[in-house]
A and B are shown apart, each in its own frame.
Chain A
Amino acid sequence: MAKKTYDLLFKLLLIGDSGVGKTCILFRFSDDAFTSTFISTIGIDFKIKTVELRGKKIKLQIWDTAGQERFHTITTSYYRGAMGIMLVYDITNEKSFENIVKWLRNIDEHANEDVEKMILGNKCDMTDKRVVNKERGEAIAREHGIRFMETSAKSNINIERAFCELAEAILDKTSGRESAENPERVIIDRRNNEKAPGYSKCCA
């Protein structure tokens, strides 16, 4: 189908314990909406969202995974294709934070070696219920050399930023690999003329 509407396609994955807000984060990012009703994801959903980074249209295909324990094994089979992984915990849920280590191990075992990772401490709007302070999130991220951000899908804090940063990190890696391909370059056809100063200046 002559329908390519993007320059690059990045596949991202959202993982983390059940109820930490993965689906809400995705919903906020793709539809700019929030619903407080909890509907457990039974499977793998995805949404797409095109962002423009450094003049490139990047289509993000974001896979939202089931967080329930019984699906952990089966969801690991989806790690392989991901170029970026958002690892989400809930700042009001100690257990979800403790499990970050387990999720990181899962990533190590099942994802591509060069996958870009980011840890998100979600629900940061719920200050009165907070049990995991920001420093602990930062510390574990630093320890593993991963980006970290506190987010709130409900109050729309850092959601867009998180995805864009992750996409940008992937772009950094990707652009090293692919040759600079710029369709909008000026081409001056000079077949009958010798070089003269100024002709070679092209703009993008």
Chain B
Amino acid sequence: METVGDSVPNGTAPPRTTLDIVKERFKEDEVILSIFDAYQIIGHEYTNRLLALVSSASGGTFAIIAFSYLRTPPLTTVNELIINKVFAIDSSFQIRQDSMGSINTQQFDLSTAEDGPFKYYYFPTESSNYEDFHAKITSCQRSMAQYDPEAVLNFRWLNDYRQIGEVKQELKKRESEYIVYEDIHIFCATWNVNNKPCGDGENPLRSWLGHTAQPPDIYAIGLQELYAPAKAMAYEMVKTTQMGGIEKTWIDKIMASLHPDAKYEVLGTQRLVATMLTVIVRQQIRPQITRCRLKTVARGVFNALGNKGGVGISLQLNEGNLCFINSHLAAHMANVEERNADYNAIVQGMTFDDGRTISDHDHIFWVGDLNYRIQEPPGQQRPGPMSDAQTYELLLQYDQLRQEMQRGKCFEGYTEGDIKFRPTYKYDPGTDTYDSSEKQRAPAYCDRVLWKGTRIEQLAYNSIMEIRQSDHKPVYAVFRVKIKTRDAVKYKRVQEEVLKAVDKRENDNQPQINVEKTVIDFGSVRFNEPVTQNFTVFNNCPLPVDFSFKEKDIHAICEPWLHVDPRHDSLLIDSARSIRLKMHVSVRTIAGLLRKIRQSDNFDILILHVENGRDIFITVTGDYQPSCFGLSMETMCRTDRPLGEYTQEQIKQLINDDSPEYRVTMPREFFLLIDFLYKQGPKQEGAFPSYDSRQSLGSQFNLLRDWLDSWSDEPFPVNAETAAQALLLLLDLPEQALLEPFVEDLLTCSNKSRAMDYISLLSPPKRNVFMHLCMFLRAGIESQYYDLQQVASIFGRILLRSGECTAWMDYHSRCVQFMRLFIDNDMESLGNGNDGAGSGDRTAGLQA
């Protein structure tokens, strides 16, 4: 049954599937067998990945390519895929269901010998069917295991995906814009020299190698049966003994016989026993050759001795890859199969060090004594020296090489030019006469030049009759090859554009978040009154973003009076998060805040860091409403109005003022607290329960704070306990202890008059506060409202607060001892009594 509503509107292309898009990323001979959506698990992070199972026809192998997304899926164009990992499905490849994972049924990992394991996770949905994906991988692995070990399989196709930077990927895509083709003349030659010397004279081979109209750019000269004494046939022996000299003699003669109109140098020469391949290049193109590798494949006796076999040279000229092979295949009329086997063995064995095989080249030239013979018809095999083209054509019908090639037994994909010359074998040395010996070997086209690849045009193919010392005639072929070359100017332009585009993409895709505001103003901030502000961060960039508040020099993300929540988080696209910032000027943080205010206009600057992106500075400000708590006695003595009437800026000036002039002898706030407590009489009993009591502020505290900071005319608002607590704080909160800078001196002097010397050196406000306090405590102790030991301990540690001395073993007892000098009525008589308040009426000074 047809559904009407499903029809696609006319003219609209059907939407492209993810598979369609991913396909664009691969070459024509690569097939995507399956794609699978997963997340890679890195630490605790889950990152989107697209896994593609791909098979390559050219390599005959499989691989999984893991892509990361430049943008959050779904995919819209192929450019959003970045290759993240490449897993070749070779013998070391493993896919493992991860039983250790917390969500084990949906977790698996992939590994190869070089890499991994990498952990992946998936949602079991219809679109990503893990069972199917897994089954396909398993079947790839199985077919991998069944490969014929002799088969030519490789993973070289993966190199285009592996470790290839974005720039290179992009440059490859735009190759057509800067690639031009340059004509190169290549002269390929082969000669079985029949163990004979190369000939006399300066350039004995010129008629073979140096006769072309135009000097070739590259020579590839293959020789076979270089002089080798039979007993020195063993490869190693030959290598180290006489052959070196012979090789050099030949190369020297070859060099002397090259085209006279150009300068040449040997790029590489490779010899296998008596088979040698030499590649010679014009000096002027030498700098364009960026790679050259050599390789031999031994055949012959036991398929190893190397009396037969092949040598190869692989090189890269500009952007073109060239391969030259010289081979000497099995001899004798009947050994066609052996020749085919030799050929196949050379193809399989000829893998250069960089992993390149013969077929991985753009242009391949194969020369050599291939030894294929002419089988029929007898009587036609001895054409006269002047035989015409028809005769050669007739002979070639019976040429084993052409027959075998036609049957697909060897040289698949290779081409050979028309042969318009006499069979090159076998002559009576020194003559142009075919074998007249007893054996009467049939003439044959043993010596051939074949090619495979693109943009190759043969210009000549011939033999040289007049070089006669061997029983073979030398053969040559000239080719014009169009070599892929970068146009330097165009390439530079394209590369610049690519770099720019890649940079731009990276800049544009930088994770970004927006903040609602970069200045967080708390407004009025007061001591002991926490306030909070919220601000929003939102992600409107096309990627999920991680953000965090960065630690600063102080190894914290913010000053102690601030609290940030959350400190870090992830934001999906188009999502927002509210950040809660709490400010609490507490007993613990007031000193630091006042210090900060002295130097700065803000409470703090937070660094909001976007992972892989920018940092945003968030300035935290507000008006700190000054209070007496935390201020030094000196500062309080400089005030001319209630602290509540000061602004933050005014208090900053007041704090920074260090003139010795004071408006009052002791802080009014301090005086009022003492006055209140004193007047409480017995109600003040036990008002100082412990040293720690100064920390936990009761609910009544802020009433007292406001009363003090406003110079209120209202009655004292709180009870004795709260007043006592406030007194302790007033003395304890300032940055500097009341008895600084003499704390250490005072702790070490046991005698009251020495102590008094120091006390008298204190600033007047501090001195007055100290004396007034001692008087008050003495009175309280005398009336037995307070326990001497207890208040000595509490006040000692506050007045003599010290970072360094606290570490002393007897710090605490010294504090008590010191206080006792001043508040112990029994010890009072021991002092000299010059405390200004007089000992006669100790309470006189406490009267308001």
Which residues of A approach B to under 8 Å, CB–CB?
1-6, 30-31, 42-52, 57, 66, 70-71, 74, 77, 184, 186-194, 196, 198-199, 201, 203
Contacts and interface: CB of A to CB of B under 8 A. Distances in A.
A192 B266 contact: no
A193 to B, nearest CB: 6
B85 interface: yes
A50 B244 contact: no
Contact of A198 (B164, B266, B506, B553): B266
B295 to A, nearest CB: 8
B271 A74 contact: no
B293 A49 contact: no
B251 interface: yes
A54 to B, nearest CB: 14
Interface stretch (B282-290, B343-351, B364-372, B536-544): B282-290
Interface stretch (B450-458, B599-607, B742-750): B599-607
A201 to B, nearest CB: 7
A52 to B, nearest CB: 8
A3 B290 contact: no
Given A45-B614, A70-B602, A5 B502 contact: yes
B552 A196 contact: no
B55 interface: no
B165 interface: yes
B400 interface: no
Given A2-B83, A2-B84, A48-B503, 7 more contacts: A5-B167, A43-B615, A46-B510, A50-B502, A52-B499, A186-B291, A196-B248
27 contacts: A2-B83, A3-B82, A3-B165, A30-B507, A31-B507, A42-B617, A43-B615, A43-B617, A44-B614, A44-B617, A47-B507, A48-B506, A50-B503, A70-B619, A74-B617, A77-B552, A188-B292, A189-B293, A190-B294, A191-B294, A196-B248, A196-B266, A196-B269, A198-B265, A199-B266, A199-B268, A203-B290
B518 interface: yes
Contact of B353 (A31, A186, A189): A189
Interface string B503-515: 1101100100000
B68 interface: yes
A194 to B, nearest CB: 6
B834 to A, nearest CB: 49
Closest 4 CB pairs of A and B: A5-B165, A43-B616, A44-B615, A5-B167
A201 B271 CA distance: 20
A43 B68 CA distance: 29
A55 to B, nearest CB: 12
A42 B499 contact: no
Contacts of A1: 68, 82, 84
Nearest to A50: B499
A66 B271 CA distance: 68
Interface of B: 68, 82-86, 162-168, 239, 244, 248, 251, 265-272, 286-287, 289-296, 352-353, 495, 499, 502-504, 506-507, 510, 518, 552-553, 600-602, 605, 607-608, 614-617, 619
A5 B506 CA distance: 11
Contacts of B294: 188-193
Nearest to A42: B518
Contacts of B552: 74, 77
B184 to A, nearest CB: 17
B607 A192 contact: no
Nearest to A190: B294
Contacts of A5: 165-168, 502
A57 B167 contact: yes
Contacts of B608: 43
Nearest to A68: B617
Nearest to A69: B601
Nearest to B504: A31
Contacts of A190: 268, 294
Contact of B270 (A3, A30, A193): A193
A198 B608 CA distance: 61
A106 to B, nearest CB: 14
A45 B510 CA distance: 10
A194 B165 CA distance: 38
B537 to A, nearest CB: 13
A165 to B, nearest CB: 19
Nearest to B495: A52
A102 B262 CA distance: 66
Contact of B289 (A4, A71, A192, A203): A203
A48 B616 contact: no
Nearest to A59: B503
Contacts of A4: 163, 165
Given A42-B518, A203-B289, A3 B166 contact: yes
B167 A186 contact: no
Contacts of B504: 31
B453 to A, nearest CB: 22
Contacts of A3: 82-83, 165-166
Given A30-B503, A42-B518, A74-B605, A203 B287 contact: yes
Contacts of A2: 83-86, 162-165
A77 B248 CA distance: 67
Contacts of B165: 2-6
A33 to B, nearest CB: 11
A117 B788 CA distance: 67
A192 B614 contact: no
Contacts of A199: 266, 268
Given A1-B82, A203-B289, A203-B290, A193 B553 contact: no
A64 to B, nearest CB: 9
Contacts of A194: 244
Contact of A46 (B84, B600, B614): B614
A175 B419 CA distance: 57
Nearest to B311: A192
A81 B161 CA distance: 33
A43 B614 CA distance: 7
A3 B270 CA distance: 38
Contacts of A188: 267-268, 292-294
A31, A47, A70, A74: residue with the most chain B Cβ atoms closer than 10 Å: A74
Contacts of B267: 188
B292 A186 contact: yes
Contacts of A201: 265, 286
Contacts of A184: 290
Contacts of B607: 43, 74
A4 to B, nearest CB: 5
A152 to B, nearest CB: 21
B614 A196 contact: no
A22 to B, nearest CB: 14
A42 B293 contact: no
A5 B167 CA distance: 6
B704 to A, nearest CB: 35
A77 B602 contact: no
Contacts of B507: 30-31, 47-48
Contacts of A48: 503, 506-507
A203 B286 contact: yes
Contact of A70 (B244, B269, B601): B601
Contacts of A196: 248, 251, 266, 269
B159 to A, nearest CB: 11
A2 B504 CA distance: 19
Contacts of B251: 196
A6 B83 CA distance: 16
Nearest to B293: A189
B601 to A, nearest CB: 7
A201 B510 CA distance: 45
Contacts of B293: 187-189
Nearest to B272: A192
A80 B166 CA distance: 30
A29 to B, nearest CB: 11
B706 to A, nearest CB: 32
Contacts of A71: 605, 617
B86 A192 contact: no
Contacts of A192: 239, 270-272, 294, 296
